[in-house]
Amino acid sequence: MRILVVEDDDVLGEAINQRILKQGHGVDLVTSGADANDILRHQEYDLVILDLNLPGMNGEQVLNKLRIRKTITPVLILTARDEVKDRIQLLDLGADDYLTKPFDFGEFDARCRALLRRQQGQAHDLIQYGNLSLDRKACSVYVDQVLVDLKQREFRLLEVFLTHPGWVLSKDDLIDHLYNFDEPPSPNAIELYVARLRKKLQKSQVEIRTLRGLGYILEALDD
């Protein structure tokens, strides 16, 4: 998934950035509200992690402008405010969830997973598709209850396909979900990861089919 982190504290911002990267997501980190607003006007994300106390344009203004544009990307607010009225105001502005600083990274991970599930119309961390199951919490994939050894980027690519069943996804669509601005992929990177996935999922009941000139689609195989 592609995540935007907006945090002006260098230490916390980098800690969040590294944690998300290690989970295999694409992540962009910015330190000002103005930069965040500009990026969000041109780039779609699966999730936004937004601090409130930002230089120039604050987090509430960024959130307000995002919702005025009718963008439905889920937003997790990071805030030092713990008053009930402040939390109510944030939710009314369009925030989907919030965490009060300092926070536990385990809870941070869980809230991010919950928002990503909600955005994709999923109720649980476990996604079943035929004899294949993907567990987002454990970052594991099983075929007929046998563990499949996937690298993080392969896991996230499969997650994108499974959360968009029946969708035709172009290479650009997949790149937008998996890579950040500072990590431009090689031209054949998606082809390489798709080829690896196909090989590792040969015993599954799913197929990643190539539609020439359009992209890829995940479909169920006939029994």
Q: What is the pLDDT of residues 101-115, one digit of tens each?
A: 999 999 999 999 889
pLDDT reported for residue 90: 85
CATH 1.10.10.10 positions along the chain are 150-220
Give the SS3 label for residue 157: helix
H/E run at residue 213: none
Q: Report, as an integer, the average pLDDT of 49-57.
A: 91
- Percent of the chain having pLDDT more than 90? 59
C-alpha span between 133 and 120 (Å, rounded): 16
Q: What is the pLDDT of residues 59-72, one digit of tens each?
A: 999 999 999 999 98
- Percent of the chain having pLDDT more than 70? 97
Has residue 22 got a pLDDT over 90? no
What is the residue whose two structure tokens read 């330190």?
31
CATH 3.40.50.2300 positions along the chain are 2-119
Pairing of strands 2-6, 47-51: parallel
Give the SS3 label for residue 38: helix
Q: Which residue, 92, 24, 34, is CA-closest to 59? A: 34
pLDDT reported for residue 187: 64
Class of the 150-220 domain? mainly alpha
Q: What is the pLDDT of residues 167-192, one digit of tens each?
A: 999 998 898 888 877 777 776 889 99
C-alpha span between 106 and 121 (Å, rounded): 23
CATH 3.40.50.300 is the classification of domain 2-119: no
